[in-house]
Copies of this chain bind each other. A is one copy, B any other.
Amino acid sequence: MKADNSPARGMRDLLPADVATRDHVLHAITSTYRTFGYQRIETPALEDINRLQGGQGGENEKLIYQVLRRGLPETTEADAPIRDLVDLGLRFDLTVPLTRFYGNNHATLPTPFRSLQVGPVWRAERPQKGRYRQFYQCDIDMIGEPSVLAEAELIEATTAALAAVGLHDITVRLSDRRFLSALATDAGLPEESWDRFFITLDKLDKIGWDGVRAELADMGLPTTAITAALDKISNLREVPAEKLADALTTAVPSLADTVVDDLAATTASLDRLAQQRSLRWEFDPTLVRGMGYYTGQIFEITHPEMSSSVAGGGRYDKLIGHSLGKDVPACGFSIGFERIVGLLSDEIARNATAVLAESDISVADALAVARDLRSQDRVVEVVRRSGKLGAPLKRLQTAGFASFVSVSNESGTLMIGDKRSI
């Protein structure tokens, strides 16, 4: 009886052509990051459940695959908390594990530490088209660098990585959480409303200015403050680079000079980079980025063929303090690996050669012919054959073979044909 062989709900199998595309993208990205000094690390897929539910993961903490303790009795007791049966969970991102990793290993790591992480994360999200419950993330982080050297380099390295994948027509969007807080202050929004204000502003793309205004009014925020905040934001859109510092200090008087200087330094570096590469950048006062742990500049990269961003990140100077016990400046950038793979669905050519061995050829002979050919060709497969050539050749072509060599036995003599294209 045939069993149901589907993967678990919301998961997927990756076929050879899928993996080839993914490996190609991963190799392009990671080899570029390596030239900037980022070094790959790996953490376990399972982390302590208390760490995963520590409050840094936002909504993702509700989507954790929780792992049962080992050695439990076979049946449950009445009214025991389910939570007590669990001690581990599958990671939902690579940032929470990175902060633990840094806390555990910082004594042996250089300062700044340039980390590269690539690997699967798991979220029990409602299954939907193109979203999977296991998917890859690809993050670089610079830990221990307080200056915008981190921001500027992370952005440059990520644009270079995307160019290596073939994504050129990109725009870097930049803002700063400190700017958003100062703006909220100057507009007269009460501090306890800031988080919800940011969340609403983040929806501007989807619900428009009127939608944002209505949602803020529904929160009971004062109309004058809402109008002041949205006017300031609106006035700061599409300000040219050379006028940005002035526009910021005018619109948001309480903004600290260091924030303006930091933005000027990052944009100066982006300007210089844009002279060498096709690259657009803009200060975007509507940019929020979802995670609550950002403390400074935030940024994302967009591409005309994708509705959501290709990559996103920012500075998080307080996060490592939770695990290490003292704050360490840190900044990260995460590439939307699965989105990029979805964009580049071209199959990678295999360019393999088949050794078509008649059924009366000994295994030792067939493998020896393949071994000889392998010294010249990249990929050589042995394929057993009986009878006509037509059908096998058709199959080989479909499977990505470019050429074949026929091996037959004629009156006891091994006959090796010339290599022929398919």
Q: Contacting chain B: which of A5-13, A206-214, A230-238, A285-293?
A: A5-13
A239 within 8 A of B: no
Q: A76-B80, A152-B364 are in contact. Are A14 and B36 (CB under 8 A)?
A: no
Chain B residues within an 8 Å CB radius of A145: 384
Q: Quick one: closest B residue to A119, CB to CB?
A: B120
A59 within 8 A of B: no
Chain B nearest CB from A29 CB (Å) reads: 14
Q: 0/1 per residue, A12-54, Cβ < 8 Å to B?
A: 1111101110010000000000111101111111111000000
Q: A39 to B16, alpha carbons, bound, how many Å?
A: 6
Q: 0/1 per residue, A276-297, Cβ < 8 Å to B?
A: 1000000000000000000000
Chain B residues within an 8 Å CB radius of A103: 2-3, 5
Q: Are A323 and B110 in contact (CB under 8 A)?
A: no
Q: Are A104 and B269 in contact (CB under 8 A)?
A: no
A70 within 8 A of B: yes
Q: A409 to B187, alpha carbons, bound, how many Å?
A: 41
Q: Copy number of this protein in the oligomer?
A: 2
Q: 0/1 per residue, A133-144, Cβ < 8 Å to B?
A: 010000000000
| CB contact between A148 and one of B104, B124, B363 (< 8 Å): that residue | B363
Q: Are B5 and A323 in contact (CB under 8 A)?
A: yes
A412 within 8 A of B: no
Residues of A within 8 A of B (CB-CB), count: 107
Q: Are A40 and B65 in contact (CB under 8 A)?
A: no
CB contact list, A375-389 vs B, under 8 A? 378-384
Q: A284 to B324, alpha carbons, bound, how many Å?
A: 54
Q: A100-B5, A364-B265 are in contact. Are A382 and B149 (CB under 8 A)?
A: yes
A411 within 8 A of B: no
A243 within 8 A of B: no
A330 within 8 A of B: no
15 A-B pairs with CB atoms under 8 Å apart are: A5-B101, A8-B47, A8-B48, A13-B44, A45-B45, A46-B90, A46-B122, A46-B134, A66-B67, A76-B76, A76-B80, A76-B82, A78-B79, A110-B398, A153-B363
Q: Are B73 and A82 in contact (CB under 8 A)?
A: yes
A420 within 8 A of B: no
A362 within 8 A of B: yes
Q: A13-B43, A36-B380 are in contact. List 16 more A-B contacts (CB 8 A).
A: A1-B325, A3-B103, A3-B325, A5-B100, A11-B44, A11-B46, A19-B40, A46-B90, A65-B68, A65-B70, A76-B82, A78-B79, A148-B363, A149-B382, A272-B368, A273-B371
Q: Are B104 and A7 in contact (CB under 8 A)?
A: yes
Q: Are A380 and B104 in contact (CB under 8 A)?
A: no
Chain B residues within an 8 Å CB radius of A120: 45
Chain B nearest CB from A2 CB (Å) reads: 3
Q: Quick one: closest B residue to A361, CB to CB?
A: B149
Q: 0/1 per residue, A102-125, Cβ < 8 Å to B?
A: 111100111010100000101010
A83 within 8 A of B: yes
Chain B nearest CB from A40 CB (Å) reads: 5
Chain B nearest CB from A168 CB (Å) reads: 17
Pick the most buried of A20, A41, A148, A378: most chain B CB atoms within 10 A of its CB: A41
